[in-house]
Amino acid sequence: GENVEQHPSTLSVQEGDSAVIKCTYSDSASNYFPWYKQELGKGPQLIIDIRSNVGEKKDQRIAVTLNKTAKHFSLHITETQPEDSAVYFCAASTSNTGKLIFGQGTTLQVKP
């Protein structure tokens, strides 16, 4: 069935370092891959997304790469700051389903 695996489950970095979170999906028909950041007591907030016709997308300190052949995609955060500390979720979706399949989440801690 549809599944998204996310690693690592926890990640601790020093302020200024880079952080990388990786996800693998099972449904080869998946064509949309968003990343969400969830802070305590809040709903998930979209930080970046990528569609299957693109291999890489960047927005300031955040970048996402997609490898459709290997069915995996990754989130890269450079120059991390304490306010980047949160739980990050990857997700995958297929056209006309309305359904986002989420990974299990990664708790990122950025130490000042």
Partner 1 sequence: EAGVTQSPTHLIKTRGQQATLRCSPISGHTSVYWYQQALGLGLQFLLWYDEGEERNRGNFPPRFSGRQFPNYSSELNVNALELEDSALYLCASSLLGGGTDTQYFGPGTRLTVL
Residues that bind partner 1 (CB under 8 A): 31-32, 34, 36, 41-46, 49, 51, 89, 91, 93-105
Q: Give min distance, CB of 18 to partner 1, in A.
A: 25
Q: Nearer to partner 1 by C-beta: 19 or 92?
A: 92
Our CB check for partner 1 shows the closer of 19 and 101 to be 101
Q: How far apart are CA 72 and CA 74, in angstroms?
A: 7
In whole angstroms, the minimum distance from the beta carbon of 40 to partner 1 comes to 11
> At closest approach, how far in Å is the CB of 82 from partner 1?
22
Q: What is the DSSP code (8-state) at residue 9?
A: S
Inter-residue contact 96 to 73 (CB < 8 Å): no
Q: Give the integer Cα–Cα distance in Å for 47 and 57.
A: 12
- What is the spatial distance between Cα 46 and Cα 14, in angstroms, rounded to a whole number? 24
Q: Which is nearer to partner 1, 10 or 97 (CB)?
A: 97
